[in-house]
Amino acid sequence: MKLALAKKGRDPQVLHRAHFERSITYEKMGKIASATKDLEMILVDDPANEEVLSRLNELKG
């Protein structure tokens, strides 16, 4: 995951998946703000992503 995010020129789908997976890791670590930030980064490029919107709603409460 860290390697996927290290290079900004990667395919957006790869970056989105890495951010999504990292948000899950952050959530398990109790870092809800960081998890939320990663999900919001995906929504910048793909605001209609239902999976991300659902996870974000779960995190927010």
pLDDT tens for residues 17-60? 999 999 999 999 999 999 999 999 999 999 999 999 999 999 98
- pTM to 2 decimal places: 0.87
Q: Report the alpha-carbon distance of residue 31 to residue 6 in Å, rounded.
A: 21
Instruction: Find the DSSP H helices in the chain.
Output: 2-6, 12-28, 32-45, 50-60
Are the beta carbons of 26 and 58 closer than 8 angstroms? no
Integer Cα distance of 8 and 53 in angstroms: 23
CA 50 to centroid of chain Cα atoms: 13
Q: Are 6 and 32 in contact (CB under 8 A)?
A: no
Going from N- to C-terminal start, the domains of the chain cover 14-60
